[in-house]
Every structure is written in structure tokens, then in C-alpha cells.
Amino acid sequence: MLTKYRSYKNIYNVDVKRFSIYNNNNMDRNKVSVGDEIDVLVREIDDNGRGVGFYKGYRVLVPKGFVNEKVRVRIIKIFDEGLQGVIVHRYNSSD
């Protein structure tokens, strides 16, 4: 058997995703944390009237954001499917 040559102390704690042959684009997701400030272009409005933008594979919910508006957002909450932030700065069209 090949298992006797492996040096895993606890096989249940091994990160099996690193052995995957598929491109894992979720590696950058770990770099976003609560309190970070990111620049987002609001692309659409959701059913609740919040602006929606995208950043590193996350869907960013921006309350009081307008379509085609570039904003700096402070992350206040992280969900499985996305982020929620508050607007820190609104960029002008000349910025």
C-alpha cells in the first residue's frame, strides 16, 4: 500500500483541495476580512434596493449605492455568498 509512505499525522485535517487538479479561484477569498476597505464599481441594484458590485469572486452589497458608481467600501459583514459594506468615499467621474 502507498499509505505507509505518507507522513500525515491526522488524515482528517489534511487540506484535500490542494491536491485538486482544478483551478481554485477561491484562494483570494481568504484575503478579505472585516474592516478592510476596497474599491467597488456598483453594477446593479438588488431586490432590496442595495447596490451590488463584485470583488475577488465575492458579491459586495453596498447600501445607498447607485449603478455605475465607483465607491470605496468598508467591509462590515462577511457571508458565504458575499460581503456587506458601508460607503466610505464616493469617487467623482474625474477620479
Per the domain annotation, does 66 fall within a domain?
yes
Question: The domain that contains 33 carries what CATH number?
Answer: 2.40.50.140
Domain count, the chain: 1
Per the domain annotation, does 50 fall within a domain?
yes
Q: Is the pTM of this model over 0.75?
A: no
47: left (phi over 0), alpha (psi -120 to 50) or beta: alpha
Domain ranges, residue 28: 3-90
Tell me, what's the pLDDT at 73? 96
User: Grid coordinates standing for 74?
Assistant: 468598508
Alpha carbons 53 and 60: distance in angstroms, whole number? 5
Per the domain annotation, does 60 fall within a domain?
yes
Residue-wise pLDDT tens for the chain (95 aa)? Answer: 455 556 656 656 656 666 666 655 555 445 788 999 999 999 999 999 999 999 988 899 999 999 999 999 999 999 888 999 999 999 987 66
